[in-house]
Amino acid sequence: MKVYYLTPDEQGNVIWPRLDPKVSSVVTLGTFDGVHKGHQAVLKRVVELAKSYNSRSVAIVFDRRPGFLFSWIAQHGVEPAASEPDSQQLSTVDQRLKYIAETGIDIAIVVHFTQAFSQISYSAFLGQLISQRVENSRQPVHTLGMTRLVLGQDANFGRDRGGNVKSVQRLSEAFRMFDLEVVDYKGPGFIHVPAGVVDGKPVEKKVRVWSSTAVRNSLEQMKVSQAMEILGHPHAVDGTVVHGEARGRTLGFPTANFAPDYEGLLPADGVYSGWLIDYGPADSLPAPASVAALSATPGSVTKGEIISTQPAEVARWTAAISVGTNPTFGPHARVLEVFAVENDWLDLYGHRVRVEFADTTGQMVKAETLDNLTELISQEVRDSQKQCDGGWTDSITGDHIQGTVVDWAGPVIRES
Ligand SMILES: Cc1cc2nc3c(=O)[nH]c(=O)nc-3n(C[C@H](O)[C@H](O)[C@H](O)COP(=O)(O)O)c2cc1C
Ligand SMILES: Nc1ncnc2c1ncn2[C@@H]1O[C@H](COP(=O)(O)OP(=O)(O)OP(=O)(O)O)[C@@H](O)[C@H]1O
């Protein structure tokens, strides 16, 4: 998959890549947070249509959730800095691109979502996907050559969320420049999720089961296996390993402690089963293109290259995962710690790692004694092995992923 990164200028304008004018594009657009099964249905339809029309398949991905941008502005009065983390984001742009690439999409165009960009009307935006007028040129120049647009039934985009299935259909019929195809595959239906408090009373809202809101709700309730069911892959958190308090070895369960700048939404405090993936020393890995794109000149396009959006996995282990404040040991910051079940005594300091959440094994408790805690953790480790035994199957590729050690060349520290 080729990836282009677009940085809007102060007026919100972007320069679209000029793609080969002899080939038309089937396009979809959205945030794709989590790339859940609903998103997958839309993306797969784009790939299918592109194949049948000899077109290219294009996904326009908004980076920064619009919800994050607008709530930040409402709270702080200004736009967040480009590097400001979004604590409610399920997956980083690199994680999303990895899954989008798996669906078979040819080109992803990542647009850094700014307030000025959000003010472009849906009709002007869609027009730009066909051709664009540029400075010093009278004739509009060919951009993506969009001939087909694929949207989910309740898609909304453009200024004041004016672009929806009805308004886009009208536009399509009036100008006959592109066709609209609507994917109405919402999955297993709807659920109610908490939506804050009004007049002192908790209120709920109805959302699709296949939605990022439902995934966030599952994670907040420790239901990581439910999140996996909606996503079609385990929910993941990425980070680098730092030193903890070196207590784990004494307990018999040394853990890889994630640095506080981890990426991905952390599930509620609790103990989970899953997988720990090692990508090797962080300083040996190239910075992802998405990081460089954050400091790009406004109004620029970072040329697309065929990039690997994820470093290669060095090893993968079944994991017992602890999220919380370790109350047994008094006041403590909230931490994410992972014990690699098959290989205790690993040296992962400074490594780039990922943890994938499979299921729940217990609560974070204040144990009476260290022996009690060790006993509890031992049981949770056994449960993790049982729960992760079957691995998991990627809903996009159909690949079966087994949670056992791949080929780890790093040092294994044995107890002396
Ligand atoms: C599977 C697992 C379950 C855990 N459960 C608890 C718990 O219920 N209560 C608690 O205080 N700490 C719990 N911990 C965290 C340990 O207290 C922590 O790993 C240990 O203190 C080592 O910390 P350190 O890495 O900072 O040295 C758990 C750790 C693991 C790996
Ligand atoms: N369950 C679903 N069924 C069909 N289409 C979906 C489903 N979920 C999302 N889509 C479509 O995927 C595209 C990208 O969606 P986007 O990520 O921008 O936001 P969304 O629709 O609000 O998704 P979510 O609520 O899960 O965040 C849109 O066209 C949207 O309508």
CATH number of 355's domain: 2.40.30.30
User: 25: which 2 tokens?
Assistant: 């594009």
Reported as a single tens digit per residue, the pLDDT across 225-270 is 999 999 999 999 999 999 888 888 788 899 999 999 999 999 999 9
| Lowest-pLDDT choice from 215-219, 344-348, 397-401 | 344-348
Q: Which atom of ligand 1 is nearest to the CA of 365?
A: 8
Q: Are residues 243 and 173 in the same domain?
A: no
Q: Are residues 351 and 252 in the same domain?
A: yes
- To the nearest whole percent, how much of the chain has pLDDT over 70? 93
196 assigned to some structural domain: no
- To the nearest whole percent, how much of the chain has pLDDT over 90? 73
Arithmetic mean of pLDDT, 41-47: 97
- Determine if residue 106 is left, alpha or beta; phi over 0 gives left, psi from -120 to 50 gives alpha, anything else beta: alpha
Q: Are residues 248 and 178 in the same domain?
A: no
Reported as a single tens digit per residue, the pLDDT across 172-199 is 999 999 999 999 877 888 999 998 899 9
Is the CB of residue 181 less than 8 Å from the CB of residue 210? no
Residue 134 exposed, middle or buried by CB count within 10 Å (0-12, 13-18, 19+): middle
Report yes or no for ipTM above 0.95.
Answer: no
What are the φ/ψ torsions at residue 334 (nearest 5 degrees)?
Answer: -75, 125
3-state secondary structure 209-229: CCCHHHHHHHHHCCCHHHHHH
How far does residue 282's CA lie from ligand 2's centre (Å)?
33
Arithmetic mean of pLDDT, 349-377: 96
Smallest CA separation from ligand 2 atom 7, residue: 38
Q: Are residues 21 and 135 in the same domain?
A: yes
Single out the residue in 124, 159, 183 at which a domain terminates. Answer: 183
Q: Are residues 32 and 177 in the same domain?
A: yes
How far does residue 234's CA lie from ligand 1's centre (Å)?
22
How far does residue 251's CA lie from ligand 1's centre (Å)?
9
276 assigned to some structural domain: yes
| DSSP type of residue 295 | T
Q: Are residues 312 and 174 in the same domain?
A: no
Averaged pLDDT of the chain: 90
Closest CA to 87 of 262, 244, 235: 262
Q: Domains in the chain: how many in total?
A: 2
Q: Are residues 174 and 257 in the same domain?
A: no
User: 56: which 2 tokens?
Assistant: 């290219």
Is the CB of residue 58 less than 8 Å from the CB of residue 27? yes
Arithmetic mean of pLDDT, 261-281: 95
84 assigned to some structural domain: yes
Question: What is the domain extent for residue 8?
Answer: 2-183
* Nearest ligand for residue 378 CA: 1
Question: What is the predicted pLDDT for the residue at 414?
Answer: 46
Q: Are residues 18 and 117 in the same domain?
A: yes
Question: What is the predicted pLDDT for the residue at 416?
Answer: 35
Q: CB atoms < 10 A from the CB of 300, how many?
A: 15
| DSSP type of residue 348 | -
Closest CA to 290 of 116, 114, 110: 110
Rounded to 10 deg, the angle between the 212-220 and 224-231 helix axes is: 160
Q: Are residues 35 and 130 in the same domain?
A: yes
Mark 355-379 as b/e (b = at least 16 C-beta within 10 Å). bbbbbbbbebeebeeeeebeebbee
Q: Are residues 28 and 150 in the same domain?
A: yes
How far does residue 365's CA lie from ligand 2's centre (Å)?
37
| CATH number for position 143 | 3.40.50.620
Arithmetic mean of pLDDT, 55-63: 97
Highest mean pLDDT among 56-60, 308-312, 391-395: 56-60
Q: Are residues 178 and 37 in the same domain?
A: yes
Q: Model confidence at 52, in pLDDT bands (50, 70, 90)?
A: very high
pTM for the model stands at 0.93
19 assigned to some structural domain: yes
Arithmetic mean of pLDDT, 346-363: 95
Q: Model confidence at 404, in pLDDT bands (50, 70, 90)?
A: low
Residue to mutate, 332, 373, 383, 385, ligand 1, most ligand atoms under 8 Å from C-beta: 373
Q: Does the pLDDT at position 353 exceed 70? A: yes
Q: Does the pLDDT at position 3 exceed 70? A: yes
What are the φ/ψ torsions at residue 131 (nearest 5 degrees)?
Answer: -155, 165
Q: Are strands 256-258 and 235-242 parallel, antiparallel or unpaired?
A: antiparallel
301 assigned to some structural domain: no
| Lowest-pLDDT choice from 133-137, 303-307, 379-383 | 303-307
